Amino acid sequence: MLNQQPGLDRMFHALADPARRAMVERLSSGPASASDLARPLPMSLPAALQHLQVLEGAGLVRSEKVGRVRNFSIEAGALSLAEQWIHARRTEWERRLDRLGAYLETLIREGEHDAPDK
Amino acid sequence: MLNQQPGLDRMFHALADPARRAMVERLSSGPASASDLARPLPMSLPAALQHLQVLEGAGLVRSEKVGRVRNFSIEAGALSLAEQWIHARRTEWERRLDRLGAYLETLIREGEHDAPDK
DNA sequence: CTGTTGGTTAAGCATTTGCTTAACTATAGC
DNA sequence: GCTATAGTTAAGCAAATGCTTAACCAACAG
């Protein structure tokens, strides 16, 4: 089995790093150049560029070079895959807990009028 | 800056591996023992245990030992952190795109009755 | 008590990450 | 054309990952 989804792999891996998340947060409020994104981070520019490559490889971010500066922007809707996966898990286990709750309730009801005393 | 959140780090990192996601998927539909979880995976039991440790370290999963078997179950609501982060990003950039759209629209409207011809 | 099952611990190893520095290319401004 | 700026490429390195096998411990079953 093992739901093979390289998309989710790369997506979650990309989001697992605080520097990369910071970049995504920054880009959520508008496009920015490579050095704009690198400046606030405590690392060299090549390092920041590597992070951006990871984000782009995960499809979270798009980049376009204009003149000598490379501008990055959010790939709108890219996170929906991750969002869907998480949401699926949540609903799945919530429904399970609901069923469990209902079951326990029937046990209690039955106990109310047909209980063997402890 | 760099929104330091080890919780998100570990959470996303835990979800970045297909074997670990498979385990979470399996646990979403009910508790299971260590070997139950390891069996479908193409790896040794110690390897699977290491994955489970990662999941537990990320707070996604809880385990309790009864007799000689260790039972794992989903930590309900653990994913909400990740869900919140993703949702925040989505709404942020959607609002931005809305504003951008509105701005472009005003440009068009202005153009309609006050256009310098091309 | 003895064997089998379920799990744990430890050591070792190949690969991947996340950074660095240094050298280089390409554009923009004067 | 010179020079400063923005980015790219490459080499190198320490640490973290993801596995393996082997040895071990604990509990239940006969």
Q: What is the pLDDT of residues A78-99, one digit of tens each?
A: 899 899 999 999 988 888 877 7
- Mean pLDDT, residues A96-113: 67
Residues of chain B contacting residue A40, judged by C-beta atoms under 8 Å apart = 1-2
B68 touches strand D (CB under 7 A): yes
Quote the pLDDT of residue A1.
46
Query: Please, which residues 17-76 of chain A have a Cβ atom closer than 8 Å to chain B?
Result: 17-19, 21-22, 24-25, 27-30, 40-42, 74, 76
Q: What are the phi and psi torsion angles at B68 (to 5°)? A: -105, 5
Count Cβ atoms below 10 Å from residue A20 Cβ, excluding itself. 23
More confident residue, B35 or B106: B35
Residue A97's pLDDT is 75
A vs B, Cβ pairs < 8 A, gives 110
- pLDDT at A118 > cutoff 60: no
Lowest model confidence (mean pLDDT) among A94-103, A108-117, B67-76 = A108-117
Strand order in the sheet with A32-33: A32-33, A69-74, A61-66
Tens of pLDDT along A13-56?
999 999 999 999 999 999 999 999 999 999 999 999 999 999 99
- What is residue A2's predicted lDDT score, i.e. its pLDDT? 44
CA dihedral B98, B101, B105, B106 (to 10 degrees): 70
Centroid of chain to Cα A29:
18
pLDDT value at residue A8:
94
CA distances from A15 to A55, A61, A110, B9 (A): 8, 12, 49, 8
With contact defined as beta carbons under 8 Å apart, do A20 and B13 qualify? no
Nearest CB to B18; choose among A4, A80, A97: A4
